[in-house]
Each structure stands twice: as structure tokens, then as C-alpha cells.
Structure 1
Amino acid sequence: MAQQGVLLDQDQFCCSVCLDLLKEPVTIHCGNSYCRSCIEGCWDQDVLKGVYSCPQCRETFTPRPTLRKNNMLAELVEKLKKTGLQAAPPPALCYAGPGDVACDFCTGTRKQKALMSCLVCLASYCETHLQPHYECPAFKKHKLVKATAQLQEKICSHHDKLLEVYCRTDQQCICMLCTMDEHKGHETVSAAAERTEKQRQLGMSMQKVQQRFQEREKELKELQQAVESLKCSAQAAVEDSDKIFTELISSIERRRSEVKELIRAQEKAQVSQA
């Protein structure tokens, strides 16, 4: 039973970045713990921004926090190792291949395939690193979309805000701040509303094309029937003419034979009189 209890609690000894048992564990200000090398690797990527965040809850810190080893957690991990029990194996990893979007928070040379992209964080997440977006209240209002490599294309280059408005005047997607300056006074709708309208128009266009196709198909069928009818009429005319000429030829042959017999009969009569 004690062994089962350890298995139930061992998730707290796993690093959410590398998904393995904590190595030289450190606990940051928000209370989450990581391998020292994992959290340092994440923060090294944020040096230019000057703002450092927790990979799980996304709480930000400025300046970069000093990392200190969590001795108590390190001892517990060592005891866990000595019992011969390892952390429960993670679910089968699905690594990103050519053409796939890789998780922005996986470390190492091989990253897992991202499932979703966050339009607020401007990052893509695998199944494991996506969990905070579902579990933490701070992420509840973040907009998740199917993983895409073109995240920057959904962000306004002027204001770094989500392109969620469509300007019908200029026929382009803009952000909310754009409606207050260079697109002020323009006819605008939400991007979702414009998408729905475009889909409706496309549906109507496809319906018209389908209708025209059916009309042309009907006309072609009628033309084929007319051609077939003409062929039948022509064939009937040929057969009728053949019948008429055959009867005419037979009649002429009979008349010819009759004339020949008449001539011979007259010839015999004249010879006998002579």
C-alpha cells in the first residue's frame, strides 16, 4: 500500500519541461519546481526581453530570479530513486516531424508535436505543456487555435495585438487599436463575422455554379437526345428509300421480262405467217 501511495504522488517529482524526474530541483517564486538546467534553458531564451516567466503558470519575474536548490525536494527525489521506483512513464511521445509545428516549451533537440497555439502567448504547446491553459484561471481567456506555424501572421505588426477585426473599406484584417487610428471611421466588422459572410457568399457562388452546371448538363442531354432522334430519322429514311428502290427495280425487271416475252411472241407470229 505504501508503494502505491508513492506512485500516486510521484508526479510532483517530475519536471514539466523535460517530463523526467527532477535533477537538481529548484523552486521559483510562484511555487513551481523544475530541473535547474531546464528552467535556466527556458530563461536563457528570454534574456533579450528582460522578462522571465514560469513555463507552467506564466507568472512573470523581473529581474531574473536567483535560483537556489530545493534541498528537501532533492532529498525526496533521491529517496524515490533508492526505492527503485521511477516516475510513471509519460504517455507515448509524439515528436514533431517535417511539416509539423513543434512545441515552443519542450527542451532538447527533439521537441514534441504541438497540438494548439495560443494567440495571446504567441506560442505553440504540446499536450503536456498545454495543460496550464486548461487548469490555471490566468489562462482561461486566452484564445487557443489549432497549432500553426504562422502565428505572427495573426498579429498586427503595428500594435502587436490579435487581428480580430476586418476593415471592409481597405479589405484587410486589423486589430482593435487600428480602428482608433489609421482605420478610424472605416466600415469594420469582427473577423469572425466577415469569415461567416465570406463563407455565405462562397456557398451562394458554389450553389449558382452548381445550378449552371446542372442546366448545361440538361441542355447537353437534350442535344444528345435530339442527335439520337435525328440519327433514327435518317436511318428510317434510308431504309424507306431502300425499300422503295428495291420495289421499283423489281417492277422494272418484271416489266422488262414482259416486254421481252411480247417481242418474242410477235416474232414467232410473223415467222409463222411468212
Structure 2
Amino acid sequence: MAQKGVQLDRETFSCSICLDLLKDPVTLHCGHSYCMNCIKDYWDEKDNEEIYSCPQCRQTFTPRPLLLKNTMLAVLVEGLKKTGLQAASPADLCYAGPEDVACDVCTGRKRQALHSCLVCMVSYCEKHLQPHQEIFKKHKLVEPSKKLQENICSRHDEVMKMFIMDKHLTDSD
């Protein structure tokens, strides 16, 4: 029987607070993991409250949980760093950098847009493009652009179109 390989990417081993690979990972009672310093700082900001919560699922903890390093997770992250996951992971390549066009639909860390829709005036990543295409089959998709508004005619408030006149139709011979 063939076994499925486990998909390991940077996102799996990243802290959702700092968005970097886990450093001194700790796991809360709800199962979510963070860098020890990130979760401590997060809770220190809310120290006047007596109830502490997980930033992801919002499960509450009273009193403040004692944080212990998750040694198994720490060993995994260190091993992955050594195998080059940190250097150039496929997951990193799909996130938008300062030069890239970001998906307008993504929340949190934005992915790179694959296309922009001239009708909706929105840029979509691979994940959000498919539902858009299924619903709006006739919308005009173009290369991702940060300047979508430049494709709209200010006079007519419509997508600019280019018309090419056939030479045979315009000749008066």
C-alpha cells in the first residue's frame, strides 16, 4: 500500500505572530504553537487582564499558562533549517513581497496575485482566483497590476478597449 508523503512547508512551522520559523516553540493547551517570546510579549501587552487567550482560536486560559519549550517541535524546526527549508521554500515564493502585486482577498499575510480582474478591479492569488472564475466566467483577467485604475476610462467609467479598424473597411477604393 502506497503512503502519502507529508507536506512540510515553512508555513507549517511558522509562528502566526511573527510569521517567522518558530524559535523556542511552545505549544498551548489548545494545540497551537508560537515562539516563546512572541506569546509572552502578546500576553504581556494584555497583562492587566486576568484571562489569557490563544491568538488563533481564542481559547481562554486562567491563570496564565506556564510555557515550556516543545522540544520535539524545536528539533523538527532545527532539522528543517539544516535541510534548507528556511532558505527558499515554495511557500515563501507564493507570498507577496514589496515589489509584487498582492491578492486583495487574502487576509493576514497576502499571497502574490496571479491575475487582476478589470471588471471587479481586484487582484487574485491562485486560491481566490478559481472561485472568481467559476462565478464570473466572462470577466476580463489581465496580468496582475498595482495600477488597475489606469485601465478605466475617466470619462466613461468603463474598462478601456482598443478598436482596430480593418484596412479593407476603411479604404474607399
With normalisation by structure 2, the TM-score equals 0.49
Structure number with greater CO (CA < 8 Å, separation at least 6) is 2
Q: Which is richer in helix? A: 1
With normalisation by structure 1, the TM-score equals 0.32
